[in-house]
A and B are shown apart, each in its own frame.
Chain A
């Protein structure tokens, strides 16, 4: 949560909103990478 808060504050400060979709996409990939190393792995593959 602290990370998301920091990221929001950063985006607000820099006002480069066009970067938001790229960052969200990368974060989703990050979530998938992290989740792939957990017990959620079997469920992730069904998403594709």
Chain B
């Protein structure tokens, strides 16, 4: 049985192909169109999935869309009705889109399938699992577990914003839901907006900013108290009530009432290019702490309701790696599995798996194994494709046939301070580069965070970098025994490897704090000694494992900086062309594509036009 999963029209459109319950391919549309968070119908991603599966659209039995459009429309109408006459402007803007397009989703999906494959006979049956069921399915079915509590938390689906379910075998039973407008995701997004970042994409920046807050500062506890007193009532079971007089997302075009929040917190909403001050960091820390408390309470409720020792998670809030790290440290569950594409893109996989296991009542076949295959579910490119790119630009490349020699060479280059673009095998599905479309650098180098942020990634200087490491290094450096292949948990560096902070550290400015060396691996140790770690085993990614092993022989640490292969506002590179263009238009020193190695200083005669991307 062949099922195509689709998520689109809101953010991060994606497609996934499931054949007899096995995830064959999955990709986000943005990687092909080069438009960050592209929400359009995923024609290119569908074409890729079909090509990877070696099938035509007419071999697909079911097409599963990741939410129920009528139910979402019902929520919109009821919300506008409840708030009327407030919200008429938003109503007038959204209704034409709904009555022209979104309500007629079946027709649009069929048209899209025809566009993806002109031979489409239109006989594929369409299914519409609920948004949070799609998230739950994306977390539970690919996990190695046959019995688990499932927690999904995001902004909003149809009505549901948070759900607790129990997964057993091939079944998912929803036990508890929290409904719009009360939403943990929207609460976090409201602060994302107020602190000057973009909603739906800047949430991880807010998470990265939080550690710059001073936990000892009374301002943090005062902000936290204000949040809990005025904005959000948090109940013991983790459910929340958002006091709507402070929010405008239900009816307006913005998340919050600027005037109300400015009065509440005592400062103006930060502009996008405005400098970050300590009170911004303190507010970020306060909302991060509130979010962590809510997630922990929800997890305890999930444990109580299901009695399971395992938790599976998905939904945008499940990408909050700091909260995930706290959840793991709390020891509520023995095992935690988080869908690596926890946001809406992963809904494409979840919708298809829900159709297969629930609608078609098919058994699971991946017991004990992770069916996400390291999230390496996207397209790969052959040597021929790479040579085509090299020839197209007249680039100078060296082919190193022996992979062991290639990794030794690259390890040596990194150890002497070079920054390497690493393009290998199948592209990752989800927001993280996990070692196949990555920029790699030496984590021991104290200047590397600044250099990578400003000169290569062209992004805000405060943004932290994550490490990729051998599994045994996670034990040694972070005391983490569980594998973390998807970079979804934040852990603290072991005290042995930390460096003492100077006196008056908390009074330093944000950028001065950044340049204080906090551990033997300063470039990946965030301001609070934390790091969002990714572990690699020889099974997950043999070439990356070899590179880390070689680097350890040279540098004593099997750890590298791993950041996504892109610049600010650009989707992660997909093709050799994307990789080469990114390499040539930044200060990267080396590019490795397959077994080809290219050095920047040898490309003097190559002309590449710089692409511009809107800031995210």
Contact = CB atoms under 8 A, between A and B. Distances in A.
Among B71, B78, B103, B106, chain A packs the most CB atoms within 10 A around the CB of B103
B505 interface: no
A3 B99 contact: no
A33 B100 contact: yes
A22 B106 CA distance: 22
A7 B70 contact: yes
Interface string B63-81: 0000000110010011001
Contacts, number: 32
Nearest to A16: B74
B99 A22 contact: no
B572 to A, nearest CB: 37
B74 A6 contact: no
A23 B106 contact: no
Given A30-B99, A33-B99, A22 B81 contact: yes
B613 interface: no
B100 A3 contact: no
Nearest to B96: A33
A44 interface: no
Interface string B87-103: 00000000110111001
B235 interface: no
A29 B103 CA distance: 13
Contacts of A33: 96, 99-100
Dominant secondary structure of chain B at its interface with chain A: helix
B104 interface: yes
A33 B103 CA distance: 14
Contacts of A2: 106
B70 A10 contact: yes
A6 B99 contact: no
Nearest to A22: B77
Given A16-B74, A22-B77, A22-B81, A3 B95 contact: no
Contacts of B106: 2-3, 6
Contacts of A14: 71, 74
A19 interface: yes
Contacts of B103: 3, 30
Interface residues of A, number: 16
B77 A23 contact: yes
Contact of A19 (B78, B96, B99): B78
A30 B70 CA distance: 16
A27 B99 contact: yes
A26 interface: yes
Contacts of B71: 10, 14
Nearest to A18: B81
A26 B100 CA distance: 10
A26 B94 CA distance: 12
B95 A26 contact: yes
A2 B106 CA distance: 9
A3 B81 contact: no
B560 to A, nearest CB: 52
Interface in A1-48: 2-3, 6-7, 10, 14, 16, 19, 22-23, 26-27, 29-30, 33-34
Contacts of A7: 70
B74 A19 contact: yes
B70 A6 contact: yes
A3 B106 CA distance: 8
A29 B99 contact: yes
Nearest to A27: B99
Contacts of B99: 26-27, 29-30, 33
A26 B104 CA distance: 13
B122 to A, nearest CB: 12
A45 B115 CA distance: 34
A19 B77 contact: yes
Interface string B293-335: 0000000000000000000000000000000000000000000
A29 B98 CA distance: 12
B130 to A, nearest CB: 13
Contacts of A3: 103-104, 106-107
Contacts of A30: 99-100, 103
A23 B77 CA distance: 9
Contacts of A29: 99
Interface string B102-116: 011011000000000
A23 B107 CA distance: 19
Contacts of A27: 99
B203 to A, nearest CB: 32
9 contacts: A3-B106, A7-B70, A10-B70, A10-B71, A14-B71, A19-B77, A22-B77, A26-B98, A29-B99
**Those 8 A-B pairs whose CB atoms lie nearest each other, nearest first:** A30-B99, A10-B70, A26-B99, A22-B77, A19-B77, A3-B104, A29-B99, A33-B100
Given A3-B104, A33-B100, 4 more contacts: A10-B71, A30-B99, A30-B100, A33-B96
